[in-house]
Structure 1
C-alpha cells in the first residue's frame, strides 16, 4: 500500500482500524492477522509505512470516515520490523 510493490501476504503486516490505549480511533498493527474487521496490508518497514501515511492510503484502505491516529503503528513498527 505504501510503496505499491506486490509481495506475498506472509511478508506483509496487516493493519486494522481500532481504538488505542488513549481511546482514540487509530491504525493498529495486527501481526497475527486475527483481528476482526477490514484490514489492509503494508510492508513492515518505516519507509513503506511512512509512504502510506503520507498518501493517506491507510484511511482509504480501511474505509475510515475520519483521520485515524497512526502513532500506535509507528511506535510498534521497530518491534515488528527486525532487520
Structure 2
C-alpha cells in the first residue's frame, strides 16, 4: 500500500502489489480481516507517516477483486 490517487484523482491509500511505487509503503496481508483491522486501528496513516487519514477504499476494492478472481486455496497440511 502506498499513498496515491483513487480512480477519481483524489488522494487515497492505494494498492501497490509490485512494490514499485515511489515513496513510503506499507505491508498488508491480502485478507479482508487484516484490511478491516488496519482501517479500525487507523494503521495506514501511521505506516505511511501521514498527518491525516486517507480513504483506503481502493485497497478494499483490490482485495475484493482478488477474492472474487482467485479460486479457494487448499489449506490442508497433508503431504
TM value normalised by structure 1: 0.76
Q: Which has the higher strand share?
A: 1
Higher alpha-carbon Rg: 2
- How far the C-alpha of 1:33 sits from its partner, in A, is 0.8
TM value normalised by structure 2: 0.79
Unaligned 5+ residue runs, structure 2?
73-79
User: Structure 1 runs of 4+ off > 6 angstroms?
Assistant: none
The aligned residue for residue 47 of structure 1 is 33
Alignment RMSD (CA, Å):
1.2
The aligned residue for residue 21 of structure 1 is 7
Unaligned 5+ residue runs, structure 1?
1-14
- How far the C-alpha of 1:41 sits from its partner, in A, is 0.2
